[in-house]
C-alpha cells in the first residue's frame, strides 16, 4: 500500500472576506499547521491586500519554523467571480472595487515561486465542506449567506464550473419586480441579496435606529433575542429557501450545506430555509436531501482554499513540472 507523506511540503491558503480574512499553513494531507483570523478590508484594493496576505503567510511560516522553500502551492478564495484559468476577478463587484482583471495569481506566484490557484470563495467553501466533512455526499450544494449570497457545487469531488466564472451568483437572482424591488449594490432592483443578505438585514436594522454595521452584527443582535433581528433572519431564511427550491429541483443535490454569518442563528435561519425548501420542492427531488449547517463554520473557506492548492500541487501535471525544475522564490 502506498500513502502520501504529508510532511514533504506545505501549502498556504487564504480566505478573503469583505471585512476579515483567514490565513493558514497546511501540510500535504491538508492538516493545518498554523491558522489565524485577522480584520481586513478588501475595499483597500488588490495591491495592499495582497501585500498583507504575503506578510501574514510569511509570518505563519516563521512562527511554525517552516522554510519558504518547502512551500509547494498557494490557494486563495475571494468573494467575486473568478476565471480560474487566469486567476483574475472577471467582473466588477462592489465587494472588490479595483480588483477586476488584476493579476492576483501571477503576483503571488512571482512572490513565492510556486503555483497559485484563485477561486470564488463559495466554490472554495463547497470544496472544503465536501472533502473535510461530507466525502461521498455528491452532489453537494453549498450556499454562503453573509454580506452577500453565493453558492458553489461539488460533483464527484470536483467544483462544477460555468462558462465564464459566473456560476453560483445566487444573490443576484431576481425575486421582486425591477420597478418595485429594493435597490441592490449591483445597481439593479429586486435581487435576492437586496432583501435577504446580511448587508440588507443590517441596513434594515439601521433604518430602525440600531447600531448594526455589518452582517455579523445582525447575528450578534439576533443571538441576544432581539425580536426584530430574529424576525429578519427568519424572513431571510424563508426567502432564500424559495430560491433554493428551484436550485434543488434543477440540480437534485444530496447535501445542501449552509454557511456564512446568518447560519450562526441556526434555529431561526437554517430552520426557515429547511421549512420553505420542503414546502416548495417536489417530494422525489428532496427525498434524500440533507439540509445542514456547515460543520466547518468559518473555516470552510480556508480549508477549501488549501484543498484548491493541494489538488494542483498533487496533480500529474504539477508533478511533471516539479520534476522538470522549480522556480526560485523571492527572498
Burial class, 288, CB count within 10 angstroms (exposed 0-12 / middle 13-18 / buried 19+): exposed
Dihedral (Cα; 107, 112, 114, 116), 10-degree rounding: -40
97, 45 Cβ separation under 8 angstroms:
yes
Alpha-carbon distance of 63 to 85, in angstroms, equals 32
| pLDDT in the model for residue 68 | 94
Alpha carbon distances (Å) from 169 to 22, 78, 271: 22, 13, 23
Q: What is the pLDDT of residue 57?
A: 98
Q: Tell me, what's the pLDDT at 1?
A: 67
* pTM for the whole structure: 0.90
Between helix 121-133 and helix 300-313 the angle, nearest 10°, is 80
Residue 97 DSSP label = T
Q: What is the pLDDT of residue 6?
A: 64
Q: Which residues of the chain have pLDDT under 50?
A: none
pLDDT value at residue 326: 55
Amino acid at each position: 500500500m502506498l500513502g502520501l507523506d504529508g510532511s514533504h511540503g506545505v501549502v498556504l491558503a487564504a480566505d478573503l472576506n469583505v471585512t476579515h480574512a483567514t490565513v493558514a499553513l497546511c501540510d500535504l494531507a491538508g492538516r493545518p499547521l498554523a491558522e489565524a483570523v485577522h480584520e481586513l478590508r478588501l475595499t483597500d484594493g488588490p495591491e495592499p491586500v495582497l501585500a498583507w496576505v504575503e506578510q501574514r503567510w510569511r509570518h505563519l511560516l516563521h512562527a511554525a519554523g517552516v522554510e519558504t522553500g518547502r512551500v509547494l502551492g498557494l490557494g486563495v478564495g475571494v468573494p467575486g467571480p473568478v476565471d480560474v484559468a487566469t486567476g483574475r476577478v472577471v467582473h466588477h463587484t462592489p465587494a472588490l472595487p479595483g480588483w477586476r482583471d488584476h493579476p492576483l495569481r501571477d503576483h503571488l506566484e512571482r512572490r513565492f515561486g510556486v503555483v497559485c490557484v484563485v477561486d470564488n470563495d463559495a466554490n472554495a467553501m463547497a470544496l472544503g465542506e465536501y472533502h473535510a466533512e461530507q466525502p461521498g455526499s455528491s452532489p453537494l450544494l453549498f450556499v454562503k449567506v453573509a454580506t452577500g449570497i453565493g453558492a458553489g457545487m461539488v460533483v464527484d469531488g470536483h467544483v462544477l464550473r460555468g462558462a465564464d466564472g459566473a456560476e453560483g451568483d445566487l444573490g443576484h437572482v431576481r425575486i421582486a419586480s425591477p420597478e418595485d424591488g429594493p435597490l441592490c449594490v449591483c445597481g439593479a432592483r429586486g435581487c435576492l441579496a437586496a432583501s435577504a443578505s446580511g448587508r440588507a438585514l443590517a441596513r434594515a436594522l439601521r433604518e430602525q435606529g440600531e447600531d448594526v454595521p455589518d452582517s455579523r452584527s445582525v447575528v450578534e443582535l439576533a443571538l441576544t433575542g432581539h425580536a426584530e433581528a430574529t424576525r429578519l433572519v427568519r424572513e431571510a431564511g424563508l426567502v432564500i429557501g424559495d430560491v433554493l427550491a428551484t436550485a434543488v429541483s434543477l440540480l437534485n443535490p444530496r447535501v445542501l450545506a449552509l454557511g456564512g454569518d446568518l447560519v450562526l442563528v441556526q434555529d431561526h435561519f437554517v430552520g426557515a430555509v429547511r421549512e420553505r425548501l420542503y414546502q416548495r420542492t417536489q417530494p422525489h427531488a428532496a427525498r434524500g436531501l440533507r439540509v445542514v449547517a456547515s460543520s466547518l463554520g468559518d473555516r470552510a473557506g480556508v480549508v477549501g482554499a488549501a484543498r484548491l492548492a493541494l489538488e494542483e500541487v498533487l496533480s500529474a501535471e504539477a508533478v511533471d513540472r516539479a520534476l522538470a525544475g522549480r522556480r526560485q522564490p523571492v527572498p
